[in-house]
Amino acid sequence: MGRTGWRERIAAARAEREATSRVRVRRTVSLRDGARCLVEGRSLLNFCGNDYLGLSQHFAVVGALQDAASREGAGGVGSHLVCGHHQLHDALERELADWLGAPRALLFGSGYLANLAVVQALLGDDDVCVQDRLNHASLIDAARLAGCRLRRYPHGDAEGAIRQLRSMPDGAALIATDGVFSMDGDIAPLRELALVARVQKALLYVDDAHGVGVVGPDGRGSVAASKLGVNDVPLQLATLGKALGGYGAAVLGDEDLIGHLSETARSYVYTTALPPAQAAATLAAVKLARTEHWRRGKLEELIGRFRERAQRAGLELMDSQTPIQPVLCGDDAGALAMSQWLEQSGYWVAAIRPPTVPEGRARLRVTLSALHGVADVDGLVDAIAKARDRARLGLTGADVREKTVLAR
């Protein structure tokens, strides 16, 4: 047998994606204006981003970024442990720790890097990482790269987690879960998982990328919403690029654990620090998220309105009370067709297909923002219902474009 050529391999993989309606296409945004985006010449109302509180373009956040950049420059210039740790990084870590009620915070370049850091710094070959089956890909990759034994339990099933832990009685154990699940929008059973962790002497780690800023008292996330603290959840992740509108992430928690990460986590030690200007922007965003409670109030109103109108229109929703509101479409081709129809109607809603979601569970991932208005939500629901009806007839967005050209 000869060695497989890499060109042949990627060509075969591409052909398979095309045959199963799983080709992924990158779109180019040339302008953002509130909830609207100019996408390849078309103005679209964006319902697929993660700017839940509408802070990414806030004048105070942008102003902080510009002011700091004018003084400190554009880059982080070095790793935190060499020469890259700036007083703005320190101020942001302290603000985040105070907000989320943790002894200490540690900044990372992204949530992906943060998850790699936590699992790889704490687990080795003889240890076990037990994870929810719908966890984010970064948590799965983190366990695989750590070399530990990875065991997954059915979604939201705390009893499943304890069964997996009991089957691996030796070595250190870590339970890792999303706080708010990015594709379903539901919240993990954190109180039950905290009890499992305590009984099994495991560490509970919560990736709250989609919860911090949005749920819980003062937007402090799913851990606070579950009335848990650092004794129950020794480590949690807060992303800076979703509700806070910036970029990067922070791991918060127990002083000793954070200290261990800062000295041993490879994705912290061996990478350049966030630009100080980005830290300044996020610091401004955190202060807004802590005080402008009306943003979460507006989100709650929009979520309720979307769900009420969508259910009235017969759309198939999932059990979510967060800004992530998936509309199930079933097959991949149907989800793509609906997404294309929506774009023709002026709405940008991404079609999410396997392997990001389970087989047969393709969906439109609708995300709501404080930047949206009631009329925006009403128009979207009407457009999704029409797109569903047209998809059932076997029409696609390409059919729409062709008919429009012929009509001209």
Known binding residue 404? Answer is no
Known binding residue 52? Answer is no
Name the helix (H) or strand (E) containing 378: helix 374-392
CA 54 to chain centre: 15
What is the radius of gyration, based on Cα positions, of the chain? 22
CA angle 63, 245, 96 (to 5 degrees): 90
Residues in CB range of 57: below 8 A, 6 or more apart = 32, 34, 245
Known binding residue 136? Answer is yes
Alpha-carbon span 233 to 200, nearest angstrom? 14
Name the helix (H) or strand (E) containing 67: helix 59-72
Do you find a cis peptide bond into 217, omega within 30 degrees of 0?
A: no
Known binding residue 239? Answer is yes
Known binding residue 111? Answer is yes
Q: Describe the crossing of helices 111-122 and 137-146 by its angle, rounded to 10 degrees.
A: 30
DSSP 302-353: HHHHHHHHHHHTT--B-S--SSEEEEEEESHHHHHHHHHHHHHTTEE--EE-
Known binding residue 112? Answer is yes
Question: Sheet holding 362-367: strands in order across?
Answer: 324-330, 362-367, 351-352
CA 28 to chain centre: 20
Known binding residue 356? Answer is yes
Instruction: Give the CA distances from residue 25 to residues 8, 28, 113, 243, in Å, rounded to whole numbers and listed in that order.
Output: 21, 10, 24, 25
Alpha-carbon span 325 to 308, nearest angstrom? 12
Residues in CB range of 328: below 8 A, 6 or more apart = 316, 317, 318, 361, 362, 363
Residues paired with residue 180 on neighbouring β-strands, in sequence order: 187
Known binding residue 182? Answer is yes
Among residues 213, 19, 240, 224, the alpha carbon closest in space to that of 111 is found at: 240
Q: Binding site residues for pyridoxal 5'-phosphate, as ranges?
A: 111-112, 182, 210, 239
Q: Binding site residues for substrate, as ranges?
A: 24, 136, 356
Q: Binding site residues, as ranges?
A: 24, 111-112, 136, 182, 210, 239, 356
